[in-house]
């Protein structure tokens, strides 16, 4: 079900209603259709710089996942529920008579959602661009010994103040620290079998990855996490050598800190017919 469409400076805004959740969608730009899926704890407002750069040569549609931005909150969050949100948005776009299937770009959790969606609906996606996510890491990102560290990080007073300031704005995240921790643990499980999903996808795939996903600290588990992150992509490319991979000297916030570079990579991977450039 779709809500009313509004326009702001050539931008169109509408809502998709799915599973009791209202999902706000924004559309603007011109050119090849592209859908941008945010990740966990990020919103379409957070991705504004990248979105505006992509709109120079793409008809870009982006949205908020449940509990993020202006989307509805729910009592419980799961990978499958977020995948349902992406599926509902893609289903609505399928009714808009787009000139061609869209490029599907996902950041972090959004990349994992994109891979799962494309493996289930291959004809609905022309190409995948996966930004620092959907990584078949050899070892889980979070182990039992890491839980106190992650709980402390999510419950840090500065983090809590930032979340409070964002409440009621397009950048709000309504998930609790426990929700986010549980989802990170679930994503580890999802990534343990994601290679099987890649095997079902025929469209071009590009990866844009951070060299220091866990930051550039030489202390604690950060170096191991970064090594594990790179090992996952090396594992993926060994099995799927057609996947084009770009590395940016950045941490996991690369979509916010390196938006121009990411936009340029997305443009450069697409040939004149919309195929991945060699």
| Domains in the chain: boundaries | 6-268
Q: Which two tokens stand for residue 238?
A: 């060994």
- C-alpha–C-alpha distance, residues 19 and 191, integer Å: 25
- From residue 274, how far is each of 108, 113, 203 by CA, in Å? 24, 22, 11
Provide the angle, in degrees to the nearest 10, between the axes of the packed helices 177-191 and 109-120. Answer: 50
Q: What is the mean pLDDT of the chain?
A: 92
Q: How far apart are CA 217 and CA 250, in angstroms?
A: 12
Sorted by sequence, the CB contacts under 8 Å of residue 33 that are 6+ apart come out as 58, 59, 61, 93, 98, 99, 100, 101, 102, 103, 126
Task: Encode pLDDT of 126-158 as tens digits.
Answer: 999 999 999 999 999 998 888 888 888 888 888
Angle subtended at Cα 213 by Cα 209 and Cα 219, rounded to the nearest 5 degrees: 150
How much is the pLDDT for 270? Answer: 67
User: What pTM does this model have?
Assistant: 0.93
CATH placement of domain 6-268: 3.40.50.1820
81: tokens are 């529920």
Q: What's the average model confidence in pLDDT over 165-170?
A: 94
């Amino acid at each position: 079900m779709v809500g009313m469409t509004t326009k702001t400076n050539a931008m169109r805004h509408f809502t998709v209603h799915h599973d009791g959740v209202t999902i706000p969608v924004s559309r603007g730009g011109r050119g090849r259709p592209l859908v941008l899926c945010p990740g966990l704890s990020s919103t379409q407002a957070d991705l504004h710089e990248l979105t505006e750069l992509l709109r120079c040569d793409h008809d870009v549609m982006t949205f908020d996942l449940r509990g993020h931005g202006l989307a509805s909150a729910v009592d419980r969050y799961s990978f499958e529920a977020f995948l349902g949100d992406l599926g509902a948005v893609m289903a609505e776009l399928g009714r808009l008579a787009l000139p061609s299937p869209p490029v599907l770009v996902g950041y972090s959790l959004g990349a994992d959602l994109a891979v799962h969606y494309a493996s289930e609906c291959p004809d609905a996606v022309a190409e995948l661009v996966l930004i620092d996510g959907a990584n078949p890491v050899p070892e889980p990102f979070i182990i039992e010994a890491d839980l106190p560290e992650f709980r402390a990080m999510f419950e840090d007073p500065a983090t809590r103040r930032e979340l409070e300031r964002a409440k009621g704005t397009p950048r709000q995240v309504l998930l609790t620290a426990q929700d986010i921790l549980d989802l990170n643990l679930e994503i580890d499980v999802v990534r343990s079998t994601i290679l099987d999903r890649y095997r079902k996808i025929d469209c071009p795939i590009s990866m844009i990855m951070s060299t220091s996903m866990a930051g550039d600290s030489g202390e604690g588990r950060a170096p191991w996490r970064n090594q594990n992150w790179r090992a996952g992509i090396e594992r993926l490319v060994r099995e799927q050598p057609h996947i084009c991979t770009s590395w940016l000297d950045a941490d996991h916030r690369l979509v916010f800190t390196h938006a121009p570079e990411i936009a340029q990579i997305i443009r450069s991977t697409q040939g004149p017919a919309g195929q991945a450039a060699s």
